[in-house]
Amino acid sequence: MHFEQALKNPIFKTIASCAAALETPCYVVGGYVRDFILSRHTSQDIDVVAIGNGIELAESVAKALPNAPKVSIFKTYGTAMLRFKGVNLEFVGARKESYKKESRNPEICEGTIEDDQKRRDFTINALAISLNASDYGTLLDPFNGMEDLKNKRIVTPLNPNLTFSDDPLRMLRAIRFATQLEFEIDPSALEAIEKNHRRIQIISKERIVIELHKILESKKPSIGFLLLERTGLLDLIIPELTALKGIDEVEGQRHKDNFYHTLEVLDNIAQHTNNVWLRWTALLHDIGKAPTKKFSKKVGWTFHGHELKGSKMVYHLFKRLKMPLNDKMKYVQKLVFMSSRPIAISGAATTDAAVRRLLFDAGDAIGDLMTLCEADITTKNVRKFKTYLNNFKMVRQKMEEVEARDQIRNFQPPISGEDIMKAFELKPCREIGIIKEFIKEAILEGQIPNESNAAHTLMLEKGKQLGLKTRL
Ligand code: CTP
């Protein structure tokens, strides 16, 4: 089969002529070929395998390109990378044995193109296109990767136990590809993941998180999380989620299975946002439910305080997975913490004051919070579903009205600490905080409008009450 259309980018001709000059046969391999055949987005990452020295080939290609881009060399891996016109080119020498047993560090040992292909993760990633003059553009597919692409199957070129023990990250990659491409993992590969899942523990958290993100960014992320759960990987990576599994029953009263509910929420939210952090929020919004679950005869099952508990767990989870403990983490924490607020004020209880408080507390995250709450409606009862959704519609409408009138979302106090100090000739003291808080509360409660004249009058009143004297 010929795939010259995959080699339209003129960079391939440059690589081919450098390789010919060095007498180093080379091939395009991996994700670029796979995605081309799938007519997925054309990948900006191109992997080239050299039958010989990949680093030397990279250096020669760089020299042949305009402005000679810089080559980054990773000697231990025998790889070299360069970036040209938005494309990342990675060169590697064909290897025979790719990985040592206890780490991801490859042992470099020269091999043929087929040696290299068979040590790759999946048959669909082991497709190679020749860049050599004798068969330029020919597809090399010794492991039936084309067939597996057609049948939507994730299959390892070798015995899956060997492929996965070469590099345990591949267990996660299998699940990630199954989710992204909506492919089936071959039963023997799935069995091997179940058997070898504990080996994921030798993989760095950073690499695990990259795969988790790719699963989360997929159209239907539940595919991945169900596979992670089924293979035992989820229990090692995010045990907070597996703890949500199961339905308890006491005296005939049952609660829903919060794990499967969470996955439904995740799939729902994926239809409304590409923001991966909002998707994380959907994944984690109920994690506080496992440790707060209680049963009492009077009220049945409760999860009191699960939002606060959950938001604290977010910090520990991010820390354990070595994810950034920055504004993204705080955003997830905030949304988990506030995840029940819109529900609490929806329906008959939607007062202006409650809406103002919600706007004040959520700030810029309000839109995302509403998206989360709407995704959280997973009832199969059509009538209830419509009622809940309609209630949120009303909350959104009320929010718009209140926001247009009172501008609460990015609340700036109409009276500053400095104004208060000036009015009462004060040095910094706790009374300033008391007055500011009093004014804020009065605005949120709707006792005064959010404007400086009304706030000034209230400030004078409150100051007097506190025994402060005005300048005038
Ligand atoms: N590969 C592998 N084992 C790994 C990682 C990668 O065998 N643990 C091989 C596969 O042939 C893969 C290629 O290296 O196609 C490039 O890897 P990478 O860039 O990580 O993935 P892609 O397949 O290109 O897919 P994506 O861009 O979606 O991550």
pLDDT score recorded for residue 81: 97
- Report residues of the chain scoring pLDDT below 50: 101
Domain assignment of residue 61, yes or no: yes
Domain assignment of residue 242, yes or no: no
Output the residue whose Cα is nearest ligand 1's atom 23.
31
Domain assignment of residue 407, yes or no: no
Sequence-distant (≥ 6) Cβ neighbours of residue 69 within 8 angstroms: 62, 82, 83, 84
pLDDT score recorded for residue 429: 94
Domain assignment of residue 98, yes or no: yes
Residue 115 and residue 60 share a domain: yes
CATH number of domain containing 232: 1.10.110.30
Q: Which of 151, 184, 204 is the endpoint of a domain? A: 151
Domain assignment of residue 357, yes or no: no
Output the residue whose Cα is nearest ligand 1's atom 22.
31
pLDDT score recorded for residue 1: 79
pLDDT score recorded for residue 42: 66
Output the residue whose Cα is nearest ligand 1's atom 21.
31
For 415-428, what is each residue's pLDDT tens digit?
999 999 999 999 99
pLDDT score recorded for residue 152: 98
Question: What residues are paired with 179 via a beta bridge?
Answer: none
Residue 140 and residue 33 share a domain: yes
Residue 79 and residue 8 share a domain: yes
pLDDT score recorded for residue 62: 97
Distance 140 CA to ligand 1 centre (A): 17
Q: In the structure, which protein residues have their CB atom closer than 6 angstroms to any atom of ligand 1?
A: 30-31, 43, 45, 47, 120-121, 125-126, 167, 169-170, 173
Domain assignment of residue 406, yes or no: no
Q: What is the pTM of this model?
A: 0.92
Residue 88 and residue 25 share a domain: yes
Residue 87 and residue 127 share a domain: yes
Distance 245 CA to ligand 1 centre (A): 32
pLDDT score recorded for residue 439: 96
Residue 141 and residue 113 share a domain: yes
Domain assignment of residue 291, yes or no: no
Output the residue whose Cα is nearest ligand 1's atom 15.
30
Distance 262 CA to ligand 1 centre (A): 30
Residue 171 and residue 146 share a domain: no
Residue 132 and residue 28 share a domain: yes
Residue 90 and residue 213 share a domain: no
Average pLDDT, the chain: 94
pLDDT score recorded for residue 410: 83
Q: Which of 173, 208, 237 is the endpoint of a domain? A: 237
pLDDT score recorded for residue 108: 55
Output the residue whose Cα is nearest ligand 1's atom 14.
30
Supply the range of the domain harboring residue 120: 4-151
Look at the chain and report how many structural domains it folds into.
3
CATH number of domain containing 133: 3.30.460.10
Distance 257 CA to ligand 1 centre (A): 35
pLDDT score recorded for residue 107: 54
Distance 56 CA to ligand 1 centre (A): 22
Q: Which of 208, 237, 266 is the endpoint of a domain? A: 237
The atom of ligand 1 lying closest to the CA of 119 is: 7
Residue 146 and residue 8 share a domain: yes
Output the residue whose Cα is nearest ligand 1's atom 20.
31
Residue 446 and residue 425 share a domain: yes
Domain assignment of residue 28, yes or no: yes
Residue 146 and residue 21 share a domain: yes
pLDDT score recorded for residue 235: 98
